[in-house]
Amino acid sequence: MSEQAIELRQVSKRQGAFRMEDVTLDIRKGYITGLIGPNGAGKSTLIRQILGMSLPDAGTVRVLGMPMPEREDEIRRRIGFVADESPFYEHLSIRGMARIVAPFYADWDERVFRTYLDRFELTAGAKIRSLSKGMRMKLSIAIAFSHQPDLLIMDEPTAGLDPVFRRELLDLLADYVQDERRTVVFSTHITTDLERIADYIAFLHRGRLQFCEPKDDVLDRYALVKAGPDLLDREVRRSFVGIRETAVGFEALSADREAAVRLFAGYASVERPTLEDIMYFTAKGEPSVHA
Amino acid sequence: MNIILSNATDEPIYAQIARQIREQIWSGSLASGAPLPSIRQLAKDLRISVITTKRAYEELEKEGLIDSVVGKGSFVAGVSPALLRERRLRRVEELLEEAVGDSRALGMGLDELVGLLAILYENGGSEHE
């Protein structure tokens, strides 16, 4: 059995003005991977390729060791998908909706589903149309967990969720990967507490994969440098991924922490960046391509 | 076993975990042979990445403080108190070596460094205990 839950090879996809180009990516089995990037980076396009909801123009996709789309049905049965917009029938009750969804999954467990409804404080008789955005998300999550998928994919799962439930979701996901076999992929364009538990971070920007690495390695490699404006000469400027300048100083991201410490120790503050810092400065620094 | 993580420090999370377990082994509050939580359980309890806890355990394994047995989990290694003391001494030596290197780079003389050390010692400074 493959070590990878998802394998993308040189996947390209054009959709209107958007282009996803040459994405090669492995998502490791048994771990939680966060797919991050600003709006329009291609996160949803990538997820659609994985789910077989759209086919790549070029490249190959393998999920759970099987080729997509050749074995789409089998793959889909083993995936739990939680989307930002839930594809529910407004006029049905939660119970009615579950009755429609359940037959698609061989491993649907009604008891597990009930347990999640209780845990999420959802009433089986409540009409879908009466549910808030957060409650719909909870229902999506309950359905996804109730057929015990090997791979859980969540597209912007924290949208509409309050902080209390977001933290509960962390526990649910940690429980889910306890058996070292199951895999979680989630996408997000904002920094949330979800990233705390991510083992790997895949960073997409303008349709290209910037990196997919253990989160700790990423946070160790980059450095956030802060200092007065007089330190910024052309040489220094060139060493940064992105810079934010003001009248009183600058903040910049370096992709080489050791070099930054060597260069700036004593002159500037060199800190550990957050993923949001990395995302922000990479997006900001983009047009400055030095030959 | 107690572990308290802080976001308000520059110390990486894995290092915070390794340091706290190390201190508990040194102080004897984690006895040799005592089982540690599984990597995934600890990650869940601390709400952090599995890879981070794995790295902390690997660090402690390298130091010989814990043993990991495939399928059984991780345990505090059977190290004698004398050996533990020797390890702690070696660590003090390492830290001092680093301080000496830095003070040399700053052009500090031995007298000045010893003076500084005396002040720190008198103030009873230990940030961890």
3-state secondary structure of B70: coil
Extract the tokens encoding A131. 């549910």
Q: Where does a domain end: A165, A195, A217? A: A217
Give B47 to chain A, closest Cα distance, Å.
Answer: 6
3-state secondary structure of B2: coil
A219 chain-B contacts, CB cut-off 8 A: 12
In a shared domain, residues A170 and A259: no
Closest Cα partner for A149 from A70, A81, A98? A81
Q: CA neighbours within 13 Å on the CB side: how many for B98?
A: 5
Q: Give one DSSP letter per residue of B8-52, joined into a string.
A: SSSS-HHHHHHHHHHHHHHTTSS-TTPEEPPHHHHHHHHT--HHH
Count of domains observed in chain A: 2
Query: pLDDT tens digits, chain A, 291 residues: what are they?
Result: 568 999 999 999 998 889 999 999 999 999 999 999 988 899 999 999 999 999 999 999 999 999 999 999 999 889 999 987 777 889 999 999 999 989 888 889 999 999 999 999 999 999 999 998 888 989 999 999 998 899 999 998 887 788 888 888 888 899 899 988 999 999 988 776 778 899 999 999 999 999 999 999 999 899 999 998 888 888 888 889 999 998 899 999 999 999 998 888 888 999 989 899 998 998 887 554 443
- Say whether A198 and B49 touch across the interface (CB within 8 A): yes
A71 CB neighbour count, 10 Å cutoff = 15
In a shared domain, residues A207 and A161: yes
In a shared domain, residues A82 and A126: yes
Q: Tell me the whole-structure pTM to 2 decimals.
A: 0.82
The reported pLDDT for the residue numbered B49 is 94
The reported pLDDT for the residue numbered B129 is 42
Which positions 65-94 of B are in contact with A (Cβ < 8 Å)? none
Note whether A37 and A43 are within 8 A (CB).
yes
Let me know if residue A59 belongs to a domain.
Answer: yes
In a shared domain, residues A117 and A181: yes
The reported pLDDT for the residue numbered B124 is 75
Residue appearing with tokens 């089998």: A74
- Give the mean pLDDT of B10-34: 90
Q: Where does a domain end: A171, A191, A217? A: A217
3-state secondary structure of B74: strand
In a shared domain, residues A268 and A183: no
CATH number of A8's domain = 3.40.50.300
B82 CB neighbour count, 10 Å cutoff = 8
Let me know if residue A45 belongs to a domain.
Answer: yes
In a shared domain, residues A190 and A46: yes
A174 chain-B contacts, CB cut-off 8 A: 40, 43-44, 47
In a shared domain, residues A8 and A66: yes
Where does residue A267 fall: left (phi above 0), alpha (psi -120 to 50 degrees), or beta otherwise? alpha
B79 compared with A205, residue with greater pLDDT: A205
The reported pLDDT for the residue numbered A49 is 93
Of the pLDDT bands very low, low, confident and very high (cuts 50, 70, 90), residue B4 is very high
The reported pLDDT for the residue numbered A2 is 64
The reported pLDDT for the residue numbered A288 is 44
How far is A74 from A78, CA to CA, in rounded Å? Answer: 7
In a shared domain, residues A189 and A92: yes
CATH 1.10.10.10 fits B13-76, yes or no: yes
B30 contact A CB<8A: no
In a shared domain, residues A36 and A99: yes
Q: Give one DSSP letter per residue of chain A, joined into a string.
A: --SEEEEEEEEEEEETTEEEEEEEEEEETTSEEEEE--TTSSHHHHHHHHHTSS--SEEEEEETTEEETTTHHHHHHTEEEE-SS----TTSBHHHHHHHHGGG-TT--HHHHHHHHHHTT--TTSBGGG--HHHHHHHHHHHHHTT--SEEEEESTTTT--HHHHHHHHHHHHHHTTTSS-EEEEEESS--GGGGG-SEEEEEETTEEEEEEEHHHHHHH-EEEEE-GGG--HHHHHT-SEEEEETTEEEEEES-HHHHHHHHTTTSEEEPPPHHHHHHHHHHHTT----
How far is A61 from A49, CA to CA, in rounded Å? Answer: 7
The reported pLDDT for the residue numbered B60 is 94
Whether B128 has a pLDDT exceeding 70, the answer reads no
Element (H, E) at B101: helix B81-105
The reported pLDDT for the residue numbered A230 is 86
In a shared domain, residues A56 and A16: yes
In a shared domain, residues A239 and A160: no
ipTM value of the model?
0.75
- Domain of residue A100, residue span: 4-217
Let me know if residue A291 belongs to a domain.
Answer: no
If you count residue pairs, one on A and one on B, with CB atoms under 8 Å apart, how many are there? 49
The reported pLDDT for the residue numbered A202 is 95
B73 chain-A contacts, CB cut-off 8 A: none
- Say whether A272 and B51 touch across the interface (CB within 8 A): no
Give A290 to chain B, closest Cα distance, Å.
Answer: 32
B9 contact A CB<8A: no
How is the beta sheet containing A269-271 ordered, strand by strand? A242-246, A249-254, A223-227, A269-271
The reported pLDDT for the residue numbered A139 is 92
DSSP assigned state of B128:
-
In a shared domain, residues A134 and A245: no
- Say whether A178 and B44 touch across the interface (CB within 8 A): yes
Give B19 to chain A, closest Cα distance, Å.
Answer: 17
- Say whether A177 and B40 touch across the interface (CB within 8 A): yes
DSSP assigned state of B67:
E
- Give the mean pLDDT of B50-72: 91
How far is A98 from A116, CA to CA, in rounded Å? Answer: 12
For residues B114, B117, B118 and B123, what is the CA-based torsion angle, rounded to 10 degrees?
170
Give A196 to chain B, closest Cα distance, Å.
Answer: 5
- Say whether A177 and B41 touch across the interface (CB within 8 A): no
> In chain B, where are the structural domains located?
13-76, 81-122
A283 compared with B54, residue with greater pLDDT: B54
